[in-house]
């Protein structure tokens, strides 16, 4: 890009051409990846820790893309792009189908836990998403699927009444709603009292300095506020014993992080869960 005075930039037609090509290329690649079944959901354990006893209560599904050449992409490399080019819609539907398979396999292994999936704001804006939920939850009705959807603040910002309706519509299917990355946005407090949220996920950035900077940590206040509002709390990004202990002392309902277990493929998660029961 050339600077054309006053800090404005102009792009040559070749550059625009190249960018368009990149965007189109990625759209095609993601479509093929879906057709070739190259996406995978990894599972990260969620632990409830009470009176010194840890219990495995859930898992968050985190998407990965493994190409036929064996390259593994983490979601930051393709989820934001798929939100822009619309591919998040079919990918999101694939996630819902896949979570049913995962639930079935866990159940076959006597592992009955809740499963959380991440939902992009873009998905909540299309009608087809709700028919998909309907379809999946009908199939799941007899299967004791405990499903949770993690949404972010970006969805709540524009229209709080609309957001409230959408959340209630999802909850009608027995799905729980978690507010992800809590504390990283801005008007959080205002809508917490006005929206029927089931879980608050306290963002990793607050957990990082919980042990070193205890005096300044707002985590205990977030937890007591959530308790007062009858909302459960999950802390994410717990890496050390010290952080874990602090959160337990504060009365955090659930924990998630490398300390308890990294996101892992289903087969690994099944052995993890079985060992967890025995230990």
Which residues of the chain form contacts with ligand C2E (CB under 6 A)? 44, 62-63, 74-76, 79, 95, 118, 120, 180-181, 236-239, 257-258, 263
DSSP 159-210: -HHHHHHHHHHHHTTT-EEEEEEETSSSSHHHHHTTS--SEEEE-HHHHHTT
Find the binding residues for Ca ion in span 150-169 (CB under 5 A): 150
Smallest separation (angstroms) from ligand C2E to the CB of 30: 13
Minimum distance, C-beta of residue 154 to Ca ion, in the bound complex (Å) = 12
Residues 107-136 that bind Ca ion (CB under 5 A): 118
* Residues near 258 by beta carbon (within 8 Å), at least 6 away in sequence: 237, 238, 239
Strand, coil or helix: 245:
helix
User: For residues 4 and 225, what is the distance between their CA atoms, to the nearest angstrom?
Assistant: 52
Q: Indicate the residue among 135 and 181 with the shorter CB distance to ligand C2E.
A: 181
* Positive or negative torsion for Cα 67, 69, 70, 74: negative
257 binds, among ligand C2E, Ca ion, none (CB under 5 to 8 A by kind): ligand C2E
Determine the Cα–Cα distance for residues 233 and 198; give it in Å rounded to an integer: 9
CB of 172 to Ca ion, least distance (A): 22
For residues 75 and 220, which CB has a smaller minimum distance to ligand C2E in the complex?
Answer: 75
Cβ proximity to ligand C2E, 17 vs 113, nearer residue: 113
181 binds Ca ion (CB under 5 A): yes
CB nearer to ligand C2E: pick between 2 and 99: 99
Cβ closest to ligand C2E, residue 75 vs residue 185? 75
For residue 120, the minimal CB distance to Ca ion (Å) is 11
- Cα 201 to Cα 59, 101, 154: the distances in Å are 13, 25, 15
- CA distance linking residue 190 with residue 235, whole number of Å: 21
**Binding partner of residue 63 among Ca ion, ligand C2E, none, CB cut-off 5 to 8 Å per kind:** ligand C2E
State the Cα–Cα distance between residues 247 and 176, nearest whole angstrom. Answer: 22
The binding site for Ca ion (CB under 5 A) comprises 118, 150, 180-181
């Amino acid at each position: 890009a050339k600077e054309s005075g006053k800090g404005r930039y102009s792009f040559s037609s070749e550059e625009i051409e190249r960018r368009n090509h990149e965007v189109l290329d990625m759209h095609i690649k993601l479509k093929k990846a879906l057709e070739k079944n190259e996406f995978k959901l990894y599972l990260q354990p969620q632990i409830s820790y009470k009176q010194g006893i840890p219990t495995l209560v859930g898992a968050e599904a985190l998407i990965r893309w493994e190409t036929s050449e064996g390259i593994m992409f983490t979601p930051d490399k393709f989820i934001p792009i798929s939100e822009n080019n619309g591919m998040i819609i079919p990918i999101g539907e694939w996630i819902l189908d896949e979570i049913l398979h995962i639930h079935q396999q866990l159940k076959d292994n006597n592992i009955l836990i809740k499963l959380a999936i991440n939902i992009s704001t873009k998905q909540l804006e299309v009608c087809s998403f709700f028919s998909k939920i309907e379809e999946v939850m009908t199939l799941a009705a007899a299967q004791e699927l405990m499903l949770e959807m993690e949404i972010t603040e970006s969805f709540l910002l524009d229209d709080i009444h609309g957001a409230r309706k959408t959340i209630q519509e999802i909850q009608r299917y027995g799905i729980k709603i978690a507010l992800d990355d809590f504390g990283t946005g801005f008007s959080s407090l205002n809508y917490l009292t006005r929206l029927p949220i089931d879980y608050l996920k306290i963002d990793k950035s607050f957990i990082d300095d919980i042990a070193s900077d205890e005096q300044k940590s707002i985590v205990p206040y977030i937890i007591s506020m959530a308790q007062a509002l009858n909302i459960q709390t999950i802390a994410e990004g717990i890496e050390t014993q010290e952080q874990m202990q602090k959160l337990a002392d504060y009365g955090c309902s659930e924990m998630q992080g490398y300390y308890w277990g990294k996101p892992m493929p289903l087969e690994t998660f099944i052995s993890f869960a079985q060992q967890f029961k025995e230990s």
